[in-house]
Amino acid sequence: MAGNKIPEDTARREFLQGAGATAVAAMGTPKWMTGFVREKLGITRSAIPGLRAEDADAIRAEIEKRHDESVQRLRTWIKLPSIAAENRGMHEGCELMMQMLREAGFGGVWKMTTDGQPGVFATLDAGAPKTLGLYFMYDVKQADPSEWTSPPFEAALVEKPGLGKVMMGRGAVNQKGPEATFLAALHAIRGAGKKPPVNLVLVAEGEEEIGSPHFPQVVRRPQVLEALRKCVGVTMPFAAQDMDGSVTTYLGAKGVIELELVSSGEKWGRGPRRDVHSSNKARLDSPAWHLVEALATLVTPDGNDPAIEGFTAKARPLSAAEKKMIAIAAKRLDENTAKKGMGVQHWVHDVSWEQALELLVSKPTVNIEGLVGGYTGPGGKTILPGRAVAKLDLRLVPDMTAKESLELLKAHLAKKGFGDIEVNMTGGYDPTSTSADAKIMVAEETVYKRHEIDPVVMPRLAGSWPGYVFTGEPLKMAASHFGLGHGNGAHAPDEYYTIESKNPKVQGIDGAAYSHVEYLYEIAASA
């Protein structure tokens, strides 16, 4: 689901492979230092609050020493895919992540059963005054090996022109790479003889990619709520950097509903219950046409604006402050790169770049993910199908809720004469919102700026992640993503995560791990 990283996002500016990058690559610095410029860090490391220079050096040395171990951890993880949509490798994947958490220093690691795949609750008590919440996922998106240039579950190291050495595999960036990088940070801190500067409370799930249907059952257990209430906020490890090193942060995310609309002769009581010869269309209703007609009522005739009655009524318009953020983002992000990345020539309604970003952030959507009915093979087959399915996702903005939106969809279909069409919600949740002045957001920004990165701040991610369980009732906490590093291809073929960067502005796995060290110290020092 999530796509907490949108693979085609607007921020994919071309990496300018210039003399600077070449010079750094030629300097003979240790491998983890490529893309993590010691000189630059030297200037700023004294500014890391509560982290003495010698400790910083020791932790960085540990990261370097453990480079191969970190890479191997990620490879091991990618090689064991857990795919909830296919109910594949779920038990093994949960156990593996639990083991990795124990090895990284979590003293308590508990499997949390749900009505679906199990979640995980884990705590690391460092005896620190402050506690940080963490959100992990152990599942990955499906992958069709025929679409990949390197097998999706082999986790091969591949040289990517203009970038460096990347690990290619499903989950590389979404989300095993960043999560394994965070664990590498914990190993390094311990390896340097230190305790983490904050306590950690981790909650994880194995159904993120199917819409987190049972994650509330993990989070809303009393002992988990109690532990989370002690946290300053909840962070998801992330590879926030684009190819040019820039970072975009998001003050929340859209909500989502994923569902199937199923039209069948069986439920309808009209047309055939199974596929029959197509000549019978002359005397029989068609469940496939019934579905098409129902779909056509859900959007405006151009297919762009939701037409489900009442669906957008509670959609909160952008505030002046949010519009200003987007106006700034529109100037800083490159329209052509965004269009090129997605292979598009026009935005919807031919709007401007700034308007396209406003829509991306603020517009509720009704999207067709897939259509599948009757004969789907090569050529044709003269059947009148007894059943047809549309897979949809609906994106929600505050103050819309998943529950209300689903009810509105059902009521709309019933009113329009399609009450027989099954609405099978497979996952989804409410939008997420976090204030720009939340402690975790401020800490993020401080770390990024120390790296001379001025993040583009967006009011909201157009993708979705289940942060609402933290930002909504009853916790009402801040929730966000953090981490240097770069990857791409979430939900797409050739997903990758950067291991060794040739670009001094883009961190590889070691530099990304160190950014988590900095972040933890920043949180520890926050007011």
Question: 11-50: which residues touch its own copies (CB under 8 A)?
Answer: none
Binders of its own copies among residues 73 to 102 (CB under 8 A) are 84-86
Closest approach, Cβ 262 to its own copies, in A, equals 13
CB 255 within 8 A of CB 429: yes
List 275, 309, 354, 404, residue binding its own copies (CB under 8 A): 275
CA distance 75 to 172: 9
Place of tokens 């990955």: 140
For the chain, the farthest-separated pair of C-alpha atoms sits apart, in whole angstroms, at 83
List 67, 75, 165, 395, residue binding its own copies (CB under 8 A): 395
Nearer Cβ to its own copies (426/526):
426
CA distance 509 to 506: 10
| Cis, bond preceding 454 (omega within 30 deg of 0) | no
Distances in whole angstroms, Cα of residue 187 to Cα of each of 109, 136, 137, 183, 509: 17, 17, 19, 6, 13
List 16, 27, 372, 436, residue binding its own copies (CB under 8 A): 372
What is the Cα 293 distance to its own chain's centre?
A: 33
Nearer Cβ to its own copies (233/255):
255
- Span near its own copies by CB under 8 A; candidates 391-399, 434-442, 469-477, 515-523: 391-399
**Using rule CB under 8 A, residue 381 touches its own copies:** yes
Closest approach, Cβ 289 to its own copies, in A, equals 3
Structure tokens at 413: 């279909």
Closest approach, Cβ 485 to its own copies, in A, equals 19
**Using rule CB under 8 A, residue 347 touches its own copies:** yes
Nearer Cβ to its own copies (73/395):
395
**Using rule CB under 8 A, residue 375 touches its own copies:** yes
**Using rule CB under 8 A, residue 214 touches its own copies:** no
Q: What is the DSSP string of 199-225?
A: EEEEEEES-GGGT-TTHHHHHTSHHHH
Count of other CB atoms within 10 angstroms of residue 452: 11
CA distance 435 to 456: 15
Nearer Cβ to its own copies (48/243):
243
- Span near its own copies by CB under 8 A; candidates 155-163, 345-353, 449-457, 480-488: 345-353
**Using rule CB under 8 A, residue 292 touches its own copies:** yes
Closest approach, Cβ 417 to its own copies, in A, equals 9
Backbone Cα Rg of the chain: 24
**Using rule CB under 8 A, residue 276 touches its own copies:** yes
Backbone angles phi, psi at 342, to 5 degrees: -100, -5
Count of other CB atoms within 10 angstroms of residue 352: 11
**Using rule CB under 8 A, residue 213 touches its own copies:** no
C-alpha dihedral (193, 196, 200, 202), degrees to nearest 10 = -60
Nearer Cβ to its own copies (196/213):
213
Structure tokens at 428: 């989804």
- Span near its own copies by CB under 8 A; candidates 153-161, 195-203, 236-244, 359-367: 359-367
CA distance 290 to 417: 10
Closest approach, Cβ 424 to its own copies, in A, equals 10
List 391, 411, 419, 439, residue binding its own copies (CB under 8 A): 391
Binders of its own copies among residues 474 to 503 (CB under 8 A) are 490-492
Query: Contacts with its own copies: how many residues (CB under 8 A)?
Result: 99
Nearer Cβ to its own copies (155/392):
392
CA distance 522 to 18: 33
Nearer Cβ to its own copies (22/279):
279
- Span near its own copies by CB under 8 A; candidates 121-129, 350-358, 476-484, 506-514: 350-358
Structure tokens at 368: 């067709």
CA distance 292 to 226: 48
Nearer Cβ to its own copies (27/351):
351
Binders of its own copies among residues 129 to 158 (CB under 8 A) are 141-142
DSSP 306: B
CB 4 within 8 A of CB 175: yes
Nearer Cβ to its own copies (60/290):
290
**Using rule CB under 8 A, residue 316 touches its own copies:** no
- Span near its own copies by CB under 8 A; candidates 26-34, 68-76, 116-124, 342-350: 342-350
**Using rule CB under 8 A, residue 520 touches its own copies:** no
- Span near its own copies by CB under 8 A; candidates 34-42, 61-69, 284-292, 494-502: 284-292
- Span near its own copies by CB under 8 A; candidates 89-97, 177-185, 282-290, 501-509: 282-290
CA distance 253 to 390: 25
Closest approach, Cβ 223 to its own copies, in A, equals 31
Binders of its own copies among residues 430 to 469 (CB under 8 A) are 461-464
Nearer Cβ to its own copies (230/270):
270
Binders of its own copies among residues 152 to 191 (CB under 8 A) are none
CA atoms within 13 A on the CB side of 289: 9
Distances in whole angstroms, Cα of residue 87 to Cα of each of 117, 153, 497: 9, 16, 25
Place of tokens 């609050």: 49
Edge-to-edge strand order for the sheet containing 119-124? 108-112, 119-124, 199-205, 131-137, 231-237, 479-482
Closest approach, Cβ 44 to its own copies, in A, equals 34
Stated as kind and residue range, the H or E segment containing 392 is strand 387-396
Cα 471–473–476 angle (5° rounding)? 40
**Using rule CB under 8 A, residue 384 touches its own copies:** yes
Nearer Cβ to its own copies (116/177):
116
